[in-house]
């Protein structure tokens, strides 16, 4: 799923227009924080969340929903997500009627914006994937009916190896652009050629990832658990050995590129 945050005084207008344009390419989700959505779902009693589902759609109301939760939900079923004024470090920024040095695109007039150019800018950034979105993708495989197993691996940022170790605050990853994606795709295809393996998906995040967050996912759709477990292990081992991704570690005491100390 490609996702972006649209910020600035003209953000709502631009989100509406860009969502219409992107709907030609795939399913689009939007999220906003202000004003509150007019939900028809009442929360009875002490319920933290309530849903109402009917023939005319669905609505929900609840507490403590974060942008990360919305990203994970939408990644399972949407091709695009546009956040109207909701900023998060995982989302590239489109500036609408505002100046932002970090913007991947800037629009002076939302009513006259080049929507094709904006769609291309959104699709140039790293897509947002989660374990759930990759599992959902393999379940949509045309051969999924032959599968009796889905095995997964999730790598995350470890704060400490031992009690006395310096705490790792974050890791920063840089990919050899283009080459990393091509190599992961090649590994996936080679693993899919194995007997009993029906589908393989891999994703490795780049940029800054704080401790406790997920870094990398490998998902295998297979006929049986034996092939699934074996292929997941081989997949993550090959990804770490063969894909050009460089890691910087930042602890409370120092920072360093890991390959410099190998």
- Write the pLDDT tens digit of every residue in 195-243: 999 999 999 999 999 999 999 999 999 999 999 999 999 999 999 999 9
**pLDDT > 90 in the chain, percent:** 76
138 and 92 in a single domain? The answer is no
Domain that holds residue 61: 2-124
Reading the block at residue 8, the tokens are: 């600035």
**pLDDT(48) > 90:** no
Q: How confident is the model at residue 91, as a pLDDT? A: 94
27 and 89 in a single domain? The answer is yes
The CA distance from 248 to 41, in Å, is 46
- CATH number, domain of 114, equals 3.40.50.300
User: Given 124, 152, 184, which residue is the final one in a domain?
Assistant: 124
User: Given 94, 124, 154, which residue is the final one in a domain?
Assistant: 124
Could you please report the per-residue DSSP string of 49-114? EEEEEETTEEEEEES---HHHHHHHHHTT-SEEEEES---TTS-EEEESS--TTEEEEES-GGG--
**pLDDT(43) > 90:** no
Q: Report residue 172's pLDDT band, with 50, 70 and 90 as the boundaries.
A: very high
């Amino acid at each position: 799923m490609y996702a972006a945050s649209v910020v600035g005084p003209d953000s709502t207008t631009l989100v509406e227009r860009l969502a219409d344009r992107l709907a030609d390419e795939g399913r689009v989700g939007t999220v906003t924080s202000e004003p509150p959505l007019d939900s028809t779902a009442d929360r009875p009693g002490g319920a933290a969340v309530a849903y109402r589902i009917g023939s005319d759609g669905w609505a929900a109301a609840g507490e403590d929903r974060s942008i990360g939760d919305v990203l994970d939900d939408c990644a399972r079923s949407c091709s695009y997500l546009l956040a109207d004024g909701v900023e998060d470090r995982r989302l590239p920024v489109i500036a609408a009627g505002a100046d932002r040095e970090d913007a991947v695109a800037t629009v002076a007039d939302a009513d006259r914006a080049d929507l094709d150019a904006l769609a291309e800018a959104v699709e140039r950034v790293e897509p947002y994937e989660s374990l759930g979105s990759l599992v959902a993708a393999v379940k949509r495989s045309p051969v999924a009916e032959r599968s009796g197993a889905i095995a997964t691996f999730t790598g995350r940022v470890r704060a400490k190896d031992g009690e006395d170790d310096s705490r790792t605050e974050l890791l920063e990853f840089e990919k050899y652009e283009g080459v990393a994606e091509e190599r992961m795709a090649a590994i996936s295809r080679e693993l899919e050629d194995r007997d009993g393996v029906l589908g393989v998906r891999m994703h490795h995040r780049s940029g800054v990832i704080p401790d406790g967050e997920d870094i990398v996912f490998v998902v295998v759709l297979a006929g049986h658990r034996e092939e699934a477990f074996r292929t997941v292990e081989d997949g993550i081992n090959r990804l770490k050995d063969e894909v050009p991704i460089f890691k910087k570690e930042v602890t409370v005491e120092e920072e360093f590129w890991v390959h410099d100390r190998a």
